[in-house]
Chain A
Amino acid sequence: MGTAHIDLHKVADAHAHDEHEHHEHHDTFLTKYIFSEDHKTIAKQFLITGLLWAFIGGLFSVLFRIQLGFPDADLTWLKPMLGDWIDKEGKMNKDFYLALVTMHGTIMVFFVLTAGLSGTFSNFLIPLQVGARDMASGFLNMLSYWFFMLSSILMFVSIFLETGPAGGGWVIYPPLSALPEAAPGSGAGMTLWLLSMAVFIVSSLLGSINYITTIINLRTAGMTFTRMPLTIWAFFITAVIGVLSFPVLFAAALLLVFDRSFGTSFFLSEIYLNGQALHHVGGSALLFQHLFWFLGHPEVYIIILPSLGITSEIIATNSRKPIFGYRAMIGSILGIAFLSFIVWAHHMYMSGMNPFLGTVFMFLTLIIAVPSAVKAFNYITTLWRGNIVFTPAMMFSIGLVSLFVAGGTTGIHLANAAIDIQLHDTYFVVAHFHIVMGASAFFGMMAGVYHWFPKMFGRMMDERMGYVHFWLTFLGVYCVFFPMHYMGIAGYPRRYYSFTQFDSLNTFSDMSSFITISAMIAFFGQIVFAFNFFYSIFKGRPAPENPWRSNTLEWTTPRFPQHGNWPGEIPHVYRWPYDYSKPNAKEDFIPQHIPYSETPESNLPHEEIFVEQEKEYEPERFGSKS
């Protein structure tokens, strides 16, 4: 990096770990960029790996959309890329279609929106925003990334297997996923999928434990829990959810490995396949679904909460207004987190479980809509009478709220078990979850990239390209997913290779083509982003230290924060992070590290007590007065 190296030894900082800083001088390329223990470098590693995965996952979706949008087309032109997966007549292989769907889901849910999103922003922002030199354990943090890398490699390799990658849908329900004879996608591809996910869970746990520890233990002086930015609250609770739920998926995966390879019968019972009655009896296919969704449902909040946290920060900053209902926002995060653990079976209304259980989960699920609605209302109120700056990050945040509302409202349909009888596993569900957690979490991720790019790379991204990227993506997402509601109402089941088999389900071929073309345009929009991203890393306009005139601590670091983040003492925190447009203040923002005693003109009556506290705890700053 281009700035002068700051010698941390010369800085008198009681909190600095001297021994640790010694290493700084012996950094080789390998320790600085590859096996780095610096949270900022690890964040960038997660980001770039996540973006590469997003490209692959997006490409897969375009491929299967081509099949769905143009089922009669000759796909021979894809043969150079897909080889034998395109047969002699130019048709896509049916198993490969399922593999594409499965991989798209797995990649997007786990590798992009869990690792790519939490991994990037939790790593980057937690130490910077709570005021810590680094994560609690840099070593575990590094391991977390490299376990993710290993998991990525395993998954990537599976794509090139002759039998193809896993193909039973991202939920990998047994018995299909347990029986290699049932489908090619349940063979070696599934083995690698399970291995990869096991390693992924290790990575996720290492990361989460680190995030939790750092937030609890390493906050700077004055950074109380009620002064933490909402991003940190979101990352904190996300990590807690992850620690509690991922081990359950690990257990499910392990039992599935046993069923597959060692002849146990945890999930298998009374199966006759390929002219043979298998020996399995007494297992329960439903047990897997319970275990899977015990992670699977919290997982969607693991995906969306960080995005909501990022959005809270960006909307407040760019509206030049405090986030409305700070405590209500924390409350709703906590409420969502708690409820996320007791709604999982709403994915299973039609699985054959006892209908009474369906009733219970229907009530619980509709409760979770309340804190979600509160969040949306609070975002909109934050915009009201603001002084809104249209950065690309802000555009993506507004887009996120719109999508979150659009997808959340259809959640009210699906949470209702009676309506779910008809809509379960149709395109209505596809539309719902892509909008509410897929697209909106992706928008949060993009908002985060645009917003914190200046602190990550010391340069600005181009705004115009950002707007183009936003509009292509935003219109693309709505054009792709909104029409799917209609297909769902018409009873179109998901994961179908084509609908030409059905006279009564073949009325939407023009809409299917429209969706595919929209998806291609949205994908094309991401190339604009990729160009902007990589170009700006090297050639972007140099960034000021605080380009968005934001309050949080990360903007008090130099343009290129070195290992240890702050060259001098870590700033102390005196106020909450949302003092934007405070009446009578000199500027329209007062950063967290500015003491109340320095802003007498804007202090509210109830804040005078803080001035007294400052005098008591930091008398040295008040000189003769004290």
Chain B
Amino acid sequence: MMFYIILALGIAVFVGVLGYIYRVFALVNLSKNSGSTFERRAGKSAYVNGLLLIFMFVAGIAWILWYTYAEADRYNLPEASSAHGPAIDSMFWTTTVVVFLSFVITNALLFFFPFIYRFKENRRGYFFADNHKLELIWTIVPAIVLAVLVLMGWKTWSNTMSEAPQGSLEIEVVGKQFNWMVRYAGKDGKIGKHDFRQIDDDNSLGMDFKKDFKTNADDFTASELRLPKGQNVLLKIRSRDVLHSVFLPHFRVKMDAVPGMPTSFWFTPTKTTEEQRAELVKLGRPGAADFDYILTCTEVCGNSHFAMKMKVTVLEKADFDKWFNEQKPWAVSNKEYLQKKGINVSGLALN
């Protein structure tokens, strides 16, 4: 209650002060007797506002340039850790340079003209209704620039989104409220089939051992996403409940996880976690020694959307293979569960 009283009082005082200031201004204005329309059209306000526009433009551009240069380390992610990443980054910066130039030029005109051509009683505007040549120029020039950008973008986009090459390492990434789960294909290189009706507390991925025992039998899960450097990786993405989106910012990878519709994204990691750390230490970034790649969620999925992350580790191919071969298949660790479900696990020993 007290809060509301204070709030109401605060608002009342504020409105009162505003009203008072306004009255003073109005009275001063009246005493100056500057009421007529013409005087106001050429008044001091044009001068002040015009100068302010110019000042804002100069200060704004100066700030943007300074910040972009001085704080580059802060907002730039480290150089892309995937094979396709640099193309996306260079596409971004090419576009940025082009659009920033057009932004500066158009805004310069926009912010300087009002002051330069501010109202003067004895002058008239220039009656300039159209000019086909001019209009043609600024239809065609942007069209050409955009065409170049879009063709470059098309190339990058089709390369990135092309079919995954044969022999890519398949990893299943599954989103649920509110964490990610990963499953590796095991020795056969194939991810086993799943059925959402088979999901329960133990079998959280819904691996379908009834229909597809063989490919599921050697699959194993992991608590973090481990990737081999230099090998093509195909992420097979799905969701268990609502929309999620796989986002690996350092790899320039993003793809929605959609329940009922499997999606995928393939890429090639190019830097191990260790290499990335060393690079960041060299650049003197804070916390560089403890750096880890992350997998986050970029499609709102509920209250803990913001906390849905998974650690990502890139290893040298040899280290990765060693780790990969040491992993125990999920079916082996959950033999009893499978037996309870009435699945014949005699084949498991062979794996």
Contacts and interface: CB of A to CB of B under 8 A. Distances in A.
A386 B129 CA distance: 12
A176 B240 CA distance: 12
A390 B49 contact: yes
A272 B206 contact: yes
A261 interface: no
A377 B105 CA distance: 11
B299 A374 contact: no
Nearest to A285: B258
Interface string B194-229: 001101110000100000000000000000000000
A326 B131 CA distance: 11
Contact of A390 (B76, B87, B119, B150): B119
Given A277-B197, A319-B125, A421-B160, A463 B240 contact: no
Contacts of B301: 176
Interface string A58-85: 0000000000000000000100110000
A182 B300 CA distance: 12
B117 A383 contact: yes
Interface in A467-512: 467, 471, 474-475, 478, 482, 486-487, 489-491, 493-499, 501-505, 507-508
- Which of B252, B260, B291, B305 has the most chain A CB atoms closer than 10 A to its own CB? B260
Nearest to B112: A383
Interface string A533-570: 00100000000100101000000000000000000000
Contact of B102 (A409, A415, A421): A409
A174 to B, nearest CB: 8
B143 interface: yes
Contacts of B197: 277
Interface stretch (B15-23, B182-190, B319-327, B339-347): B15-23
Nearest to A499: B306
Contacts, number: 365
A199 interface: no
Interface residues of A, number: 131
Nearest to A547: B37
A271 B91 contact: no
A173 interface: yes
B260 A464 contact: no
Nearest to A425: B298
A390 B45 contact: yes
Interface stretch (B165-173, B242-250, B329-337): B242-250
Contact of A531 (B18, B26, B305): B18
A255 interface: no
A389 interface: yes
Contacts of A508: 74-75
Contact of A81 (B3, B125, B160, B297): B3
A390 to B, nearest CB: 4
A34 interface: no
Contacts of B241: 175, 179, 182, 271-273
A402 B56 CA distance: 12
Contacts of B83: none
Contacts of B111: 398, 402
Interface residues of B, number: 124
A495 B201 contact: no
A501 B309 contact: yes
A416 interface: yes
A398 B67 CA distance: 25
A106 B272 CA distance: 43
A402 B88 contact: no
A527 B41 CA distance: 26
Nearest to B237: A352
A421 B253 contact: yes
B107 A373 contact: no
Given A270-B196, A328-B135, A389-B46, A504 B292 contact: yes
B157 A362 contact: yes
Interface in A508-524: 508
B11 to A, nearest CB: 9
Interface of B: 1-4, 14-15, 18-19, 22, 25-26, 37, 40-41, 45-46, 49-50, 52-53, 56, 60, 64, 67, 71, 74-77, 87-89, 91-92, 95-96, 98-100, 102-103, 106-107, 109-111, 113-114, 117-120, 123-131, 134-135, 138-139, 142-143, 146-147, 149-150, 153-154, 156-158, 160-161, 176-177, 196-197, 199-201, 206, 237, 240-243, 245, 247, 249-250, 252-256, 258-261, 263, 286-287, 290-292, 294, 296-307, 309
Among all A-B residue pairs, the 9 with the closest Cβ atoms = A269-B260, A491-B249, A80-B3, A581-B125, A355-B161, A352-B263, A409-B99, A418-B156, A321-B125
26 contacts: A175-B241, A175-B243, A176-B301, A268-B259, A269-B261, A271-B241, A272-B176, A272-B240, A286-B258, A374-B138, A374-B142, A380-B110, A383-B110, A384-B126, A388-B117, A388-B119, A390-B119, A405-B102, A405-B106, A413-B99, A416-B150, A422-B254, A489-B75, A503-B291, A504-B292, A581-B124
